[in-house]
Structure 1
Amino acid sequence: MNYLTCLYRKLIGARYFYKGYEASKGQNASFNSARDFEGHGSHTLSTAGGNVVNGVNVFGYGNGTASGGSPKARVATYKVCWDGCYGADILAGFEAAIHDGVDVISMSLGGDPQEYFQNGISIGSFHAVSNNIVVVGSGGNSGPTLETVANLEPWMFTIAASTIDRDLASNYVTLGNKKIFKGASLSGINLPQNKMYPLISAADAKLDNVSAVDSLLCKEGTIDPHKVNGKILVCLRGENTRIDKGVQASRAGAIGMILANDEASGNQINPDPHFLPASHVNFTVGNFIFKYINSTKFPVAYISKVITRFGVNPTPIMAAFSSRGPNFIEPSILKPDITAPGVNIIAAYSKAVSPTEQTFDKRRIPYITMSGTSMSCPHVAGLVGLLKSLHPTWSPAAIKSAIMTTATTKDNMGKHMLDSSLDRATPFAYGAGHVRPNRAADPGLVYDLNITDYLNFLCGHGYTSSQLTVFYGRPYECPKSFNLVDFNYPAITIPDFKVGHSLNVTRILTNVGSPSNYKVRIQAPPEFLVSVEPSRLRFTKKGEKREFKVTLTLKPKSKYITDYVFGKLTWTNGKHRVATPIAITYPQ
């Protein structure tokens, strides 16, 4: 993403920052303008703060009323990326947003994990939070591999991506053996009905002078038009873009394309605005189609027209691309923090670019569907804007806690959320769970933090007083001791439990609701005993704080843990449920 998206109470604007880029590249920025030349910034900004618009659709699909998360917010964009993102420009964007008095920053950008004091995003976001601005960041799109999540700062609100119950653009592939498989597409072109078409693998359609590996990927200059003309071509995902594969199939004379996932892409399929009838199918289906082609003398298939389905079950499911924890920089902080809708999201698009981003594509549309943690991030930023309006005195940490502790780990069928592989998902995929906006508005209790807490966290992480100057503006005297497990985060993560010992973890809850009594419920991680003292908390007034201690003990004769195990403790008064995930492991 090129932009920081900000929500205001007072101002509207667009600014751009490029001096870091020019200093690094030794050349002028390609466009000295805040204009969005790729569509990504328009999409995320409208998701966070776009007004209500009727009749929104993409090539006629998914037609309905669209709205940003904070539809009456004032918005501003700060363009900080050009040919790549540079720390100086990101910092300049943060400082401008702070100066302008924004309330929320939606940051759909990130980079490789880097120590906080060396990271422009870490420093800029710390300055923003110290000015009471909530900073929401994308968790990254490098999943499902573990330890890939980005934006790892405890003061950052890091968002994963999951599905919604609308299947925007699904179609079906029917094979000559009568097998029917679901796919996805945004192609506005349909095959004539009631007719089957010859089917060919791109590996079998290669030119004589290229490898079957390259032709299977439908790379430019690898497909023989004489072998493909009038047939449905089956391409494998990988290396070149999904759109480009359809372009190469169309140029070679294919009448349609089936795009099959490679193993790494798993079950996640994407509706793309192809130039020919097309269907994107998952890895399992793709394997079946290739086997059908290889076992049949005259394979044939048909691709149905695209339809939009609602009420899809189960949902949410974690997106395959959504980056996973644990936290590479500081494993005692659970990341991502939460998950939100990030798959096939319809939002605004820039008419400065085509829907395929190909120069020869002359189509221009005002809305498009995109997927990524860039899309889930502004969903949460919009919610934060609403919470800031409801609770203007809440700190960034209180707002973050309210959203995390009221999240759900259940899907719409009442079962535990799944990964894209349809296995049980874990907090390293979804953090505290899937966002529930209405519950977040009235959480009952919150885990609060202030700038001193964050500085003490950095001390516990191992930074010296002089290293903290980049965050605090002056040297900070670290406390004589600070245990990271007692950092008042809305999650408990123990990456190095010491065998043969019990571990005590302290947390403090602040009452933001009516006077009430809470009792604790414990779902202990496998192989561990968990106790909480006290097991009941009484709050007599708003703003009152209560401390509790969690004791974790390995069960006698427990097996060695080869991976993290997970649990949860929940404080409830009958109306509110304040849930805290637990993640724990110990070295062998």
Structure 2
Amino acid sequence: MQGLSVNNFDLNGKSYPLIWGGDAANFSAGANSVISSQCFDGAMNSYKVKGKIVFCEGIGDGSGILSADGVGAIMADSLFTDSAFSFPLSATVITTEDGQRVLDYIRSTENPVATILVGETDKDVMAPYIPDLTAPGVDILAAWSPVAPPSIDFEDTRSVEYNIISGTSMSCPHASGAAAYVKAAHPKWSAAAIKSALMTTAHVLDPKKHDELEFAYGSGHINPLKAVKPGLVFDATEADYVHFLCKQGYNTTTLKLITGDNSSSCGRTKPGRAWDLNYPSFSLAVEDGQKIDAVFTRTVTNVGSPNSTYYIHAYAPYSRVSVTPSTLSFYAVGEKKSFAVKVSGPPISQQPIVSGAVLLTDGVHVVRSPLVIYTILPGAAYPSNSIPEKRPSFKGSSLYHGNGILGRN
């Protein structure tokens, strides 16, 4: 049976007695089988747990088993399947379905046993990430403070110089390093040009991996080697972003806080759709019941061959997409050309995000920008080129969750 964890505790293949956490309740501490099945710290009966591997119906930090002198833990959870956690003892996380198999085995066997093997590297090139751009952020080996606990148990006293962790704290250095790599190759490029190069050359990810598509993984997974030679870039100046912020509803006072320039002003710019920001993506929010109708203008700068011709193709579900002009010819490096993308379609309501793209190709380069369409409530604010805010609501007890992580507070 295969599980997921960062396990560097070697049991040498030795089998140990296996017990269900619900059969090891610390009644003297007020615990019962429901609580001990989650293997919370203080809820475990050390007389029954000592020297055994414990099956837990949920993810915890492992301290409950450790403090009860257990050898290891098998935790069942299907919510966290794409990232591994470090624990202060030998542990692995399996799916709830496999967990039921383990529980059936325990209940049907007179003397159940188990072992936990040292972890092996598992490569998943389609792991989920976060916008505008994605970078490696799952199970990354990185430097670690020797005075910080190496696992999710804050009382873990081990000291390590490296650890395997996941999250944006890992993907951000990769993205920054990729940007620095592109900057080293093109010292005079602006930050906007570098970001454009990274976004338009990214690996396209599998849309079946996440319901929110580009709102989950952005333009795709970074490809630094291709980003050095993107062919075209969508460049933008400070003035472009000032105009964008004014369209978003910033006034002169709040604008100065962002720019740090007392001369910044919105002038006569009024809040509205900021579709003309020269950004390497296209985002269309449609109010429920309204038609799909938008025109985006973009300008690209040639950073490839002095003589090249790009053909533009665009598509999006449930809509008609046209591009004018459909061909861009360049005769010099640094030359700029503009085009407009018109998106139209029937009225839509309660429509999840649909994903399309605008592609510029010259036979050598493929400059890809995502085009997404989604619905919003009538009268709602619709910041262009940004993700609509979703405020999660939590119901129920905050003490623990049957299949949650870090059950204790």
With the shorter chain as reference, the TM-score category is 0.7 to 0.9
In structure 2, what is the equivalent of residue 16 of structure 1?
none
Gap change, CA 1:509 and 1:479, over 3 Å in 2: farther
Q: Partners of 2:193 and 2:319 in 1: how far apart?
A: 29
Following superposition, the deviation at residue 189 of structure 1 comes to: 2.9
Question: Match of 2:342, SS?
Answer: strand
Q: Partners of 1:553 and 1:299 in 2: how far apart?
A: 67
**Mapped contact 1:447–1:488 kept (Cα < 8 A):** yes
**Mapped contact 2:291–2:348 kept (Cα < 8 A):** no
Following superposition, the deviation at residue 531 of structure 1 comes to: 1.1
In structure 1, what is the equivalent of residue 115 of structure 2?
303
Paired amino acid for 1:385: A
Following superposition, the deviation at residue 435 of structure 1 comes to: 0.5
Question: Match of 2:198, SS?
Answer: helix
Q: For residues 348-373 of structure 1, what are the alpha-carbon distances to aligned partners after superposition, in whole Å with 9 as ceiling and x for unaligned?
A: 12223342376764432221111111
Gap change, CA 1:502 and 1:365, over 3 Å in 2: closer
Q: Which of 276, 279, 289 is residue 92 of structure 2 equivalent to?
A: 279
Q: Which of 104, 127, 134 is residue 317 of structure 1 equivalent to?
A: 127
Any residues of structure 2 matched to 1:108-147 within 5 Å, and which?
Answer: none
Following superposition, the deviation at residue 271 of structure 1 comes to: 4.4
**Mapped contact 1:269–1:280 kept (Cα < 8 A):** no
Q: Which of 153, 171, 187 is residue 8 of structure 2 equivalent to?
A: 187
Paired amino acid for 1:199: L
Q: Which of 200, 203, 220 is residue 19 of structure 2 equivalent to?
A: 200
Question: Match of 2:4, SS?
Answer: strand
Gap change, CA 1:303 and 1:463, over 3 Å in 2: same
Any residues of structure 2 matched to 1:487-506 within 5 Å, and which?
Answer: 487-496=277-286, 499-500=290-291, 502-506=293-297
**Mapped contact 1:517–1:539 kept (Cα < 8 A):** yes
**Mapped contact 2:52–2:70 kept (Cα < 8 A):** yes
In structure 2, what is the equivalent of residue 370 of structure 1?
165
Question: Match of 1:317, SS?
Answer: coil
Q: For residues 20-62 of structure 1, what are the alpha-carbon distances to aligned partners after superposition, in whole Å with 9 as ceiling and x for unaligned?
A: xxxxxxxxxxxxxxxxxxxxxxxxxxxxxxxxxxxxxxxxxxx
In structure 1, what is the equivalent of residue 81 of structure 2?
267
Gap change, CA 1:487 and 1:228, over 3 Å in 2: same
Question: Are 1:251 and 2:67 counterparts?
Answer: yes
Gap change, CA 1:505 and 1:192, over 3 Å in 2: closer
Paired amino acid for 1:215: S
Question: Match of 1:586, SS?
Answer: strand
Question: Match of 2:184, SS?
Answer: helix
Q: Partners of 2:154 and 2:256 in 1: how far apart?
A: 47
In structure 2, what is the equivalent of residue 113 of structure 1?
none
In structure 2, what is the equivalent of residue 520 of structure 1?
312
Q: For residues 379-426 of structure 1, what are the alpha-carbon distances to aligned partners after superposition, in whole Å with 9 as ceiling and x for unaligned?
A: 01111112111111111110000000000114xxxxx2653xxx6771
**Mapped contact 1:525–1:567 kept (Cα < 8 A):** yes
In structure 2, what is the equivalent of residue 438 of structure 1?
225
Q: For residues 458-499 of structure 1, what are the alpha-carbon distances to aligned partners after superposition, in whole Å with 9 as ceiling and x for unaligned?
A: 110011122212123314133445641221111101112673
Q: Which of 343, 364, 368 is residue 579 of structure 1 equivalent to?
A: 368
Paired amino acid for 2:40: K
Q: Partners of 2:258 and 2:83 in 1: how far apart?
A: 41
Q: Partners of 1:284 and 1:573 in 2: how far apart?
A: 50
Paired amino acid for 2:311: K
- Of stretches 512-521 and 434-443 in structure 1, the one that deviates more from structure 2 is 512-521
Q: Partners of 1:361 and 1:446 in 2: how far apart?
A: 48
Q: Partners of 1:480 and 1:460 in 2: how far apart?
A: 7
**Mapped contact 2:136–2:170 kept (Cα < 8 A):** yes
Q: Which of 237, 255, 258 is residue 450 of structure 1 equivalent to?
A: 237
Question: Are 1:216 and 2:5 counterparts?
Answer: no
**Mapped contact 1:446–1:509 kept (Cα < 8 A):** yes
Paired amino acid for 2:127: I
**Mapped contact 2:82–2:138 kept (Cα < 8 A):** no
Q: Partners of 1:288 and 1:357 in 2: how far apart?
A: 27
Q: Partners of 1:316 and 1:500 in 2: how far apart?
A: 34
- TM-score after normalising by structure 2: 0.82
Paired amino acid for 2:47: H
**Alignment gaps of 5+ in structure 2:** 378-409
Q: Partners of 2:147 and 2:274 in 1: how far apart?
A: 48
Any residues of structure 2 matched to 1:17-96 within 5 Å, and which?
Answer: none
Following superposition, the deviation at residue 269 of structure 1 comes to: 4.3
Q: Partners of 2:66 and 2:86 in 1: how far apart?
A: 15
Following superposition, the deviation at residue 292 of structure 1 comes to: 4.4
Using the aligned pairs only, state the percent identity: 33
Any residues of structure 2 matched to 1:356-367 within 5 Å, and which?
Answer: 356=151, 361-367=156-162
Gap change, CA 1:503 and 1:296, over 3 Å in 2: same
**Mapped contact 1:342–1:373 kept (Cα < 8 A):** yes
| Total equivalences in the alignment | 370
Following superposition, the deviation at residue 227 of structure 1 comes to: 2.6
Q: Partners of 2:256 and 2:33 in 1: how far apart?
A: 57
**Mapped contact 2:276–2:298 kept (Cα < 8 A):** yes
Q: Which of 544, 547, 572 is residue 338 of structure 2 equivalent to?
A: 547
Question: Match of 2:216, SS?
Answer: helix
**Mapped contact 2:6–2:119 kept (Cα < 8 A):** no
**Mapped contact 1:346–1:368 kept (Cα < 8 A):** yes
Following superposition, the deviation at residue 506 of structure 1 comes to: 1.1
Q: For residues 255-302 of structure 1, what are the alpha-carbon distances to aligned partners after superposition, in whole Å with 9 as ceiling and x for unaligned?
A: 3211222x5x24234141533x32122344334434544x52537242
- TM-score after normalising by structure 1: 0.58
Q: Which of 334, 348, 352 is residue 563 of structure 1 equivalent to?
A: 352
Gap change, CA 1:577 and 1:452, over 3 Å in 2: same
Following superposition, the deviation at residue 563 of structure 1 comes to: 1.2
Q: Partners of 2:104 and 2:277 in 1: how far apart?
A: 54
Following superposition, the deviation at residue 307 of structure 1 comes to: 4.3
Gap change, CA 1:198 and 1:391, over 3 Å in 2: same
**Mapped contact 2:199–2:220 kept (Cα < 8 A):** yes
Question: Are 1:461 and 2:248 counterparts?
Answer: yes
Look at both structures and tell me which one has the larger radius of gyration over its CA atoms: 2
Paired amino acid for 1:398: A
Following superposition, the deviation at residue 533 of structure 1 comes to: 1.0
Question: Match of 1:341, SS?
Answer: coil
Paired amino acid for 1:572: T
Q: Partners of 1:214 and 1:518 in 2: how far apart?
A: 64
Question: Match of 1:485, SS?
Answer: coil
Q: For residues 87-145 of structure 1, what are the alpha-carbon distances to aligned partners after superposition, in whole Å with 9 as ceiling and x for unaligned?
A: xxxxxxxxxxxxxxxxxxxxxxxxxxxxxxxxxxxxxxxxxxxxxxxxxxxxxxxxxxx
Question: Match of 2:363, SS?
Answer: coil
Q: Partners of 1:362 and 1:184 in 2: how far apart?
A: 19
Question: Are 1:404 and 2:199 counterparts?
Answer: yes
**Aligned Cα RMSD in Å?**
2.6
Following superposition, the deviation at residue 455 of structure 1 comes to: 0.9
**Mapped contact 2:212–2:353 kept (Cα < 8 A):** no
Following superposition, the deviation at residue 583 of structure 1 comes to: 1.0
Q: Partners of 1:182 and 1:359 in 2: how far apart?
A: 23
Q: Partners of 1:566 and 1:360 in 2: how far apart?
A: 46
Paired amino acid for 1:582: L
Q: Partners of 2:148 and 2:84 in 1: how far apart?
A: 20
**Mapped contact 1:527–1:559 kept (Cα < 8 A):** no
Gap change, CA 1:494 and 1:500, over 3 Å in 2: closer
